[in-house]
Each structure stands twice: as structure tokens, then as C-alpha cells.
């Protein structure tokens, strides 16, 4: 061993008490370290026991459910080798095996640390022995000093008895000299050999050696655990879902064919066919159901697109969120499939006759005062929201009657007052109920076709037999004897839409007019008349729109349309509808949300 250049013997001669206190501190540290690793070994042993129990319990569960995991509960004949082919089952078995082996590794670690604590105890015992020997040597030196003092007293006594016992004095003198020389020799040996030797003993190195051994044991244990985790990761990488699915399918193949489609089954005591009925009453319900399904589908497509985007985003973030969102996407896609099926079938049966483009907006309402249903004429009463009210026209109906009410959108956009719209809807709904058995077809819109929205068309003439003062913007002032053109005939509401010589249009009571006879000639200068009614404001079509009524314009994406003027023209025509002129001078109405001001 290499000799130390700096030592207690050289640097701290005769500092026994201080060095002894230092050794006491070292002994305390040895005891603490031994206790630390003893308790750590106990923890490792306890952890290993619980880990082994956990692995055993999990292994028993796996063995119990292994067949269900690999081949299902209705498998064909199999062998044990088939079970081993499943990659997921193999990976899980590797995890359990690694856990069980790790438990044994922890037990081995605990045993190694227990042995190490015994080494620390031996070092502590050896250091304690060194300290005792050191104290004994110090006591021996003290004895020699006391002997030297005793010889000094004998010398004084010999001097006093010099005369009587000279011989004894000489002997004592010799003994004194010898004792002094001996004491000096012992002193020199103690301070130059014994004490430095004790002070230079490197007891700390033994402690450091034991601690290094403890860390090497820990490092070796961690390397073993790392190897086991590496084996588990390799088994997980080898998991092949396609292979496992193919194995499951191989042992669970069963003959399968799609179930037969459901078919219409007529009543046993009533002759009927599987064709959809498009009589006046049922047709209204189909039209409203079609409009509602399309509105729901538009909302659903927006939500579905957002959910699909979320599903793609969550796929990388969190599998649980991804699965939840994917489940919602599946449910929404199924709803979209149902709505598309309803829309396609109803649209095919109606053949384009889909009614108004803006059906009623019914909301559930409570009726504290009895209110007559606008369709079946039965009272609606109660706070349990048995009925619904349209936000646009105020019509109240039962929840069960909602889909049977005729749309009011076309009545509104041709200029009929709101009160007359409600009156017409109520009368038309009642007529639909009473005449549905006669199978009379209803028009494609909720009012008679508009045959007078184009300035090029001709209309019959009527003469006012009374003065009429307009009370709203939808009505027209006429005086007795004035000849007007009938734009729209009385549809049963008691009102007729007419146009005067200035081109102004409005509603007049039917009882205020009489037939003037004859039909006027076509306008000689329609384009000039149109230019007089034009506003100079142009709008551009954002989408294609196909006219569904005679008074509507067909527009294509990108077309420029000039809005008409007047209090009832252009953007003032009706809610959701504008009036204008196409490029060829044709006048008509169109949905306002299909265009934007250029």
C-alpha cells in the first residue's frame, strides 16, 4: 500500500483526545449506514414479496381468460400451440414473467445488502477494538510515568541514607539511571512509532470500500431490471393486431348473410299498398318532414366535421379521448345516414314538389290559457308544453299537429300581411283535414302560383267599386272607378293582389273589386318600364338557384342581378327574399342568402 504523505502522526503529534473524538464520529456514521442498509434490505424484501404475489395473481387471471382473449368464447377445436401464436398474449406473458423475475431480483438485492451490513458491523467492531487498544497503550505509558516518579522518591531516600546504605544508594542510582533511560526509550517509541502508527491507520478507507461495494450491488441490480424491461419492450413491439385478428377469425368462421330488408306489411283487414301516399294532407307532412330533415342534416354535417377533426387530433394525444370522439362520430354518422335516407326517399316521391323553402319555426310552449290549435281546432291547455308556437307567425298547434301545418314562407315573401297569413294557414289547414279523403292534389306551394311577377305577362282587369285606404305597407290605395291589374286572385283569404297604372302593387279586399272585362295588351316597352323600376344596386350570386315558382328567378353562381326599387321591391320585398332583374331583363324574386351586394 502506498504510504501517505500527510498523516495524523506527522501533522497532529500528541493530539490523542481530538483524534479519538473524530474516531467516535466515524463509528457513529458506520452504525447509521449499517442501520440504513438494513432497513432498505427489509423494504426490498417486503416489496419483492408483494410484487411476487401480484404477479402470481395476475398470472392466474390471465390463464383463466387466455382462451377468451385469443379465440373467443365460441371457438373451434384448438391446440396449445395455437394459444402461443397470439402476439398480444405473448407480450402480456412476458410482462408477468418480467415482474415475477424482478421480485426475485429484489430479494437477491436485499440479501446482498444484508451481507454488506455485516461487513459494516465487522468494520465497526474492528475500529472499536483499535480504539480500546489505543486507550490501553495510553494507560501503559501512564504506568511507566508513575514508576519513574516512584524511582525519583527512592533516589531522595537513598540520598538521606547515603552514609548508612551507600551500597543501596549506588544500586538505586543505577536502577534510577536505567529506569530513566528505559522511560525515555519507551517515550521515544510511543511518540515516534506507536502513536503515529495508530493515528495513521486509515479506518475511513474500510468504510468507503464497503459503501462502494453497496453501490456496485445497486448498479448490478438496476442493469438486471433494465434487461428485463428491454425484453418486455421487444415483446410489445412484436404485437401484430392483424395476425391476432386473423387467428381469431380462423377459429371463429361461421356462415353469414345480410338480413333481409324490412318490407311494408299492409293491415290484414284493409287493402293497401306499399307506395307512399302523397294526398294533400299526408303530402304536407312529408314536405315539412323533408324540410326538417334537411335542416337537421345541415347542423349534423357541421358537428360531424368538427368531431372528425377532433378525432384525428386526439388520435395522437390521448387514446381515450380518441375513442370517445370516434364513438360520437359513429353515432352522428348513423344519424346522418338516417336523415339522408329520409330526404332521398321523400324527395323522390314528391318529385320536386317540396312546398315552401322556409317552414314554420315551432318551439315548445306552455299554455296557461286555452288556445285553439291552428290545425285540428282542438284546445291546447296546460303547463306541460303539450303544444308549440311558431316564432315567425305566432301560430299555435299541438305537438302532434306540427308536421301537418302548411309552410308560410311563400305567403310571406309574396307580400301577404302577417295577420292574413295566419288566417289563411288556419283555413287551409282545416280544409286539408276535411278534404284529404277526396285526394285532391295541392299546389307545389302553399298559395296559388304567382302568375304576375314578370312585367311581360298579362293579367285580367278589375275595377274598384269603393275607395280603399291602405293600412299597411302590404296594401294598396285605390279609389272608386280605378282600373287595376289583378296580379294574384283571391285564394280564400278575402284579399286580391293588384297593380295600378304606376306599377305599385298591393293587397285590396276582394269585395271592393269587380271584373272590368277584357285583357290588356302586352307592354310595348318592358325594358324601359323595368329600367324605371330598377334601383341601380347590383348583387352577385354566391350559389346556383333554380326557380321553384313562376315568380322566381333562376340564377347561377357569379351572376349579377339588379335589385328593383320601391317600398315593396328589392331588399324590402319580404323576409329572406329579394326582388330584382336578371341580365335579360326578367323580373323575379330569389333567396337573399344566395347573393351578396357587389
Q: Which helix (H) or strand (E) holds 201?
A: none
Residues 6 or more apart from 166 whose CB is under 8 A from it? Answer: none
Mean pLDDT: which of 325-334, 353-362, 424-433, 548-557 is highest?
Answer: 548-557
The more confidently predicted of residues 526 and 93 is: 93
CATH class of 461-515: mainly beta
20-34, 170-184, 234-248, 308-322, range with the lowest pLDDT: 170-184
DSSP lists the bridge partners of residue 478 as: 468
pLDDT at 438: 33
The band of 408, judged by pLDDT with boundaries at 50, 70 and 90, is low
Cell readout for 51 is: 410484487
Tens digits of per-residue pLDDT, 277-336?
777 777 778 778 788 888 888 887 888 888 878 777 766 665 666 667 777 778 778 888
Cα 348 from Cα 331, distance rounded (Å): 26
pLDDT at 338: 80
Cα 520 from Cα 487, distance rounded (Å): 13
Cell readout for 446 is: 302553399
- What secondary structure letter does DSSP report for 545? B
Residues 6 or more apart from 160 whose CB is under 8 A from it? Answer: none
Q: Which fold has domain 362-438?
A: Wheat Germ Agglutinin (Isolectin 2); domain 1 (3.30.60)
Mean pLDDT of all residues in 137-144: 63
Cα 547 from Cα 588, distance rounded (Å): 9
Mean pLDDT: which of 445-459, 491-505, 516-530, 540-554 is highest?
Answer: 540-554
* Termini Cα distance of the chain: 100
Residues in the chain: 598
- Selected from 1.10.287, 3.90.25, 1.20.1270, 3.40.50, the CATH number assigned to the domain covering 8-235 reads 1.20.1270
pLDDT at 233 over 80: yes
Question: What average pLDDT is seen over the chain?
Answer: 71
Tens digits of per-residue pLDDT, 85-139?
777 777 778 887 877 887 788 787 777 767 766 766 676 676 666 666 656 666 6
Is residue 75 classed as helix, strand or coil in its secondary structure? coil
Cα 24 from Cα 205, distance rounded (Å): 16
Mean pLDDT of all residues in 409-430: 48
Contact 401, 375 (CB under 8 A): yes
The band of 188, judged by pLDDT with boundaries at 50, 70 and 90, is low
pLDDT at 380: 78
pLDDT at 439: 36
Question: What is the percentage of the chain residues whose pLDDT exceeds 70?
Answer: 63
* Other beta carbons less than 10 A from residue 320's beta carbon: 9
pLDDT at 538 over 60: yes
pLDDT at 390: 80
Dihedrals φ, ψ of 221, to 5°? -65, -45
Mean pLDDT of all residues in 399-425: 58
Q: Which of 533, 524, 479 is nearest to 503 (CA)?
A: 533
Tens digits of per-residue pLDDT, 39-49?
888 888 888 88
Tens digits of per-residue pLDDT, 443-490?
333 333 333 333 334 567 888 988 888 877 778 889 888 888 888 887
Cell readout for 183 is: 522511560
Per the rule left: phi > 0, alpha: psi between -120 and 50, beta: everything else, 570 is left
pLDDT at 148 over 60: no
Cell readout for 238 is: 412484436
CATH number of 526-597: 2.30.30.40
Rounded to two decimals, what is the model's pTM? 0.33
pLDDT at 70 over 60: yes
Mean pLDDT: which of 95-104, 353-362, 578-587 is highest?
Answer: 578-587
Q: Which of 419, 364, 356, 363 is nearest to 393 (CA)?
A: 419
Contact 350, 283 (CB under 8 A): yes
Dihedrals φ, ψ of 169, to 5°? -65, -45
Residues 6 or more apart from 378 whose CB is under 8 A from it? Answer: 372, 398
Residues 6 or more apart from 364 whose CB is under 8 A from it? Answer: 385, 387, 388, 399
The order of strands in the sheet holding 483-488 is 505-509, 495-499, 483-488, 461-464, 513-515
Amino acid at each position: 500500500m502506498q504510504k501517505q504523505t500527510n498523516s495524523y502522526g506527522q501533522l497532529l503529534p500528541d493530539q490523542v483526545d481530538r483524534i479519538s473524538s473524530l474516531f467516535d464520529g466515524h463509528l457513529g456514521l458506520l452504525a447509521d449506514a449499517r442501520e440504513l442498509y438494513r432497513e432498505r434490505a427489509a423494504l426490498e424484501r417486503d416489496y419483492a414479496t408483494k410484487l411476487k404475489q401480484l404477479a402470481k395473481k395476475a398470472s392466474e387471471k390471465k390463464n383463466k381468460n387466455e382462451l377468451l382473449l385469443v379465440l373467443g368464447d365460441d371457438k373451434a377445436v384448438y391446440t396449445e400451440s395455437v394459444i402461443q401464436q397470439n402476439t398480444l398474449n405473448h407480450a402480456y406473458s412476458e410482462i408477468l414473467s418480467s415482474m415475477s423475475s424482478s421480485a426475485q431480483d429484489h430479494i437477491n438485492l436485499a440479501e446482498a445488502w444484508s451481507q454488506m451490513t455485516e461487513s459494516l458491523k465487522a468494520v465497526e467492531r474492528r475500529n472499536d477494538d483499535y480504539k480500546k487498544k489505543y486507550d490501553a497503550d495510553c494507560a501503559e505509558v501512564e504506568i511507566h510515568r508513575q514508576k519513574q516518579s516512584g524511582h525519583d522518591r527512592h533516589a531522595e531516600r537513598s540520598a538521606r541514607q547515603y552514609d548508612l546504605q551507600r551500597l543501596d544508594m549506588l544500586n538505586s542510582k543505577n536502577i534510577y539511571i536505567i529506569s530513566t533511560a528505559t522511560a525515555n526509550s519507551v517515550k521515544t517509541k510511543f511518540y515516534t512509532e506507536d502513536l503515529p502508527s495508530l493515528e495513521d491507520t486509515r479506518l475511513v478507507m474500510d468504510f468507503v470500500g464497503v459503501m462502494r461495494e453497496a453501490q456496485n450491488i445497486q448498479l448490478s441490480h438496476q442493469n438486471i431490471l433494465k434487461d428485463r424491461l428491454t425484453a418486455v419492450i421487444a415483446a410489445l413491439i412484436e404485437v401484430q393486431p392483424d395476425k391476432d385478428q386473423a387467428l381469431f377469425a380462423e377459429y371463429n368462421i361461421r356462415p353469414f348473410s345480410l338480413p333481409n330488408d324490412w318490407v311494408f306489411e299492409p293491415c290484414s283487414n284493409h287493402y293497401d299498398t306499399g307506395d307512399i301516399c302523397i294526398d294533400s294532407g299526408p303530402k304536407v307532412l312529408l314536405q315539412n318532414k323533408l324540410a326538417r330533415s334537411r335542416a337537421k342534416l345541415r347542423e349534423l354535417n357541421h358537428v360531424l366535421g368538427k368531431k372528425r377533426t377532433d378525432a384525428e387530433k386526439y388520435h395522437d394525444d390521448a387514446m381515450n379521448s380518441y375513442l370517445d370522439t370516434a364513438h360520437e362520430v359513429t353515432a352522428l354518422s348513423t344519424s346522418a345516414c338516417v336523415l339522408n335516407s329520409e330526404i332521398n326517399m321523400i324527395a323522390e316521391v314528391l318529385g320536386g314538389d317540396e312546398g315552401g323553402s322556409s317552414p314554420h319555426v315551432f318551439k315548445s310552449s306552455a299554455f296557461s290559457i286555452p288556445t285553439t290549435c291552428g290545425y285540428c281546432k282542438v284546445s291546447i291547455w296546460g303547463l306541460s308544453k303539450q303544444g308549440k308556437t311558431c316564432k315567425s307567425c305566432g301560430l299555435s298547434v299541438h305537438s302532434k299537429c306540427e308536421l301537418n301545418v302548411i309552410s308560410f314562407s311563400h305567403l310571406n315573401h309574396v307580400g301577404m300581411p302577417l295577420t292574413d297569413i295566419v288566417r289563411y294557414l288556419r283555413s287551409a289547414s282545416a280544409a286539408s283535414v276535411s278534404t284529404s279523403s277526396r285526394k285532391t292534389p295541392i299546389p307545389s306551394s302553399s298559395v296559388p302560383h304567382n302568375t304576375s311577377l314578370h312585367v311581360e305577362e298579362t293579367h285580367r282587369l278589375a275595377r274598384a267599386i269603393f275607395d280603399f285606404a291602405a293600412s299597411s305597407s302590404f296594401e294598396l290605395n285605390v279609389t272608386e272607378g280605378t282600373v287595376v291589374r289583378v296580379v294574384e286572385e283571391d285564394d280564400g283569404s278575402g284579399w286580391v293582389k293588384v297593380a295600378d297604372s304606376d306599377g305599385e302593387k298591393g293587397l285590396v279586399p276582394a269585395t271592393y273589386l269587380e271584373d272590368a272585362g277584357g285583357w290588356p295588351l302586352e307592354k310595348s316597352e318592358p325594358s324601359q318600364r323595368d329600367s324605371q323600376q330598377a334601383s341601380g344596386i347590383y348583387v352577385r350570386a354566391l350559389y346556383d338557384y333554380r326557380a321553384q315558382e313562376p315568380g322566381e328567378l333562376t340564377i347561377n353562381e357569379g351572376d349579377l342581378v339588379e335589385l328593383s326599387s320601391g317600398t315593396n321591391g328589392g331588399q324590402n320585398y319580404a323576409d329572406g327574399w329579394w326582388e330584382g332583374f336578371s341580365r335579360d331583363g326578367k323580373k323575379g324574386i330569389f333567396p337573399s342568402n344566395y347573393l351578396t351586394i357587389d
